[in-house]
């Protein structure tokens, strides 16, 4: 009798479990969804995945408004800026013997204009102290603009306070040499484009006068 009752109890438990299992699975799934929703709600609501991209777009607009057309085109096309030595006093570099290349979030690279010899790297940083979270780095174009402004305004002070290293510490010398060659080709092409445009305009004026 006892054995029969025990067997019946086991069968009843198994049947109840089989009947209740779908309901329990749905309950567990519902609890999981609630937990995930709670985690998402607790996450910082101020984070915006597009923030960095928009910040860079604004930084590029600001950089473009501050530098001349030639320098903006250089940065837009080549990804770096050049600043003549001696505080950038000579816009055309006529009296400068050396210059700097400014890369985003890289040291300033000084080089001799005549020979292309690399002189030094100057490590300077302009962190973004206003960010409440995430990286403290400025957008790329803001970093370039900050270095350009500091170097153009007071070259002696900037390089005096920077950490100076031999070429190749952080920026690949071969990359710099390639960039200098790219810069020469880019500037030569711009000169040729201006000359062609000037000749074209001159020809158009001659045709107007002849007519």
Domain ranges of the chain: 51-171
pLDDT at 1: 53
pLDDT for residue 14: 43
- 3-class DSSP assignment, residue 34: helix
How would you write 12-67 as a 3-class SS string? HHHHHHHHHHHHHHHHHHHHHHHHHHHHHHHCCCCCCCCHHHHHHHHHHHHHHHHC
Residues 6+ apart with CB under 8 A from 156: 87
The pLDDT of residue 28: 41
149 Cβ contact partners less than 8 Å away, ≥ 6 residues apart: 66
For residue 3, the model assigns a pLDDT of 42
pLDDT at 115: 95
Low-confidence ranges of the chain (pLDDT < 70): 1-49, 87-93, 128-136, 202-211
* pLDDT tens-digit readout, 143-199: 999 999 999 999 999 999 999 999 999 999 999 999 999 999 999 999 998 888 877
Q: What is the pLDDT of residue 131?
A: 57
> What was the pLDDT predicted at 12?
45
């Amino acid at each position: 009798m006892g054995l029969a009752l025990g067997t019946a109890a086991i069968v009843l438990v198994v049947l109840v479990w089989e009947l209740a299992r779908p309901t329990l699975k749905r309950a567990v799934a519902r609890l999981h969804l609630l937990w995930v929703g709670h985690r998402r709600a607790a996450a910082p609501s101020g984070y915006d995945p597009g923030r960095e991209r928009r910040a860079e777009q604004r930084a590029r607009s600001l950089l473009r408004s501050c530098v001349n057309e030639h320098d903006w085109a250089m940065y837009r096309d080549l990804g770096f800026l050049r600043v003549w030595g001696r505080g950038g006093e000579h816009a055309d570099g006529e009296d400068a013997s050396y210059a700097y290349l400014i890369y985003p979030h890289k040291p300033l690279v000084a080089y001799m204009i005549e020979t292309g010899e690399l002189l030094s790297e100057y490590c300077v940083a302009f962190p973004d102290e206003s960010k409440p979270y995430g990286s403290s780095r400025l957008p790329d174009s803001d970093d370039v603009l900050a270095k350009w402004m500091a170097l153009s305004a007071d070259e002696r002070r900037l390089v005096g306070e920077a950490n100076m290293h031999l070429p190749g510490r952080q920026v690949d010398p071969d990359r710099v040499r390639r960039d200098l060659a790219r810069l020469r080709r880019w500037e030569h092409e711009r000169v040729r484009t201006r000359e062609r445009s000037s000749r074209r305009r001159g020809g158009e004026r001659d045709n107007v006068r002849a007519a």
